[in-house]
Amino acid sequence: MSSDVIRKAFQATEDGFFSLVAKQWPVKPQIAAVGSCCLVGVICGGILYVANVGDSRAVLGRLMKATGEVLAVQLSTEHNASIESVRQELKALHPDDPQIVVLKHSVWRVKGLIQISRSIGDVYLKKAEYNREPLYAKFRLREPFKRPLLSSEPSISVHPLQPHDQFLIFASDGLWEHLSNQEAVDIVSKHPHNGSARRLVKVLY
């Protein structure tokens, strides 16, 4: 296992979806606007690999022996235009496009359409030939683009597991919009681990 293997797996997934869109476009063109975040964790040989596109998040619960507390450690990098560094990255990649990120209804979005800067799918923002009729007007850009606006390149972190690493929380932005990393870790660490995912979701409702 290596970061390169994971990177190739992401690319193969992206290529497979592109092929599906190409086949379905004549009869189901709206599939070009379908996309997903993707968060992957692989443990191999005592090493944890975390790969991410989009704004899902992986958080580790680590026991601090000195205090007995369980500390939250974020392992993933998010690709959301609300993050200043992501906006700067987009502007650097598209220096000729002053509208690459737009503040719309108090939310930063790529081309005013989507919050994430990396994903699987969303072909309508990666290949200009799919950003046209019969795609719904709300997805179409007024001007054609020359290079992909979104990427499927994952951010990958490599973490050698330690005996004091207790558990992992993998969740989408739907959880992290309501709970901080530490709040989520506290909920898991202070209850039996069986049913932890259900317990985290119940906190939101």
Domains, in order of start, for the chain = 3-204 (3.60.40.10)
CA distance 94 to 174: 29
In the block, which residue shows the tokens 């409702």? 205
- pLDDT band per the 50, 70, 90 thresholds, residue 196: confident
pLDDT at 195 over 90: no
- Please write the tens of the pLDDT for every residue from 124-173: 999 999 999 998 988 998 888 889 999 999 999 999 999 999 999 999 99
**Surface-to-core class of residue 186, CB atoms within 10 Å of its CB (0-12 exposed, 13-18 middle, 19+ buried):** middle
Strand, helix or coil at 119? coil
- Please write the tens of the pLDDT for every residue from 84-104: 999 999 999 999 999 999 998
Span 64-89, average pLDDT: 94
- pLDDT band per the 50, 70, 90 thresholds, residue 10: very high
CA distance 160 to 179: 26
**Surface-to-core class of residue 160, CB atoms within 10 Å of its CB (0-12 exposed, 13-18 middle, 19+ buried):** exposed
Residues recorded for the chain: 205
Per DSSP, the chain holds a count of helices (H) and strands (E) of: 5, 10
Q: What pLDDT, on the 0 to 100 scale, is given for residue 114?
A: 94
pTM above 0.75, yes or no: yes
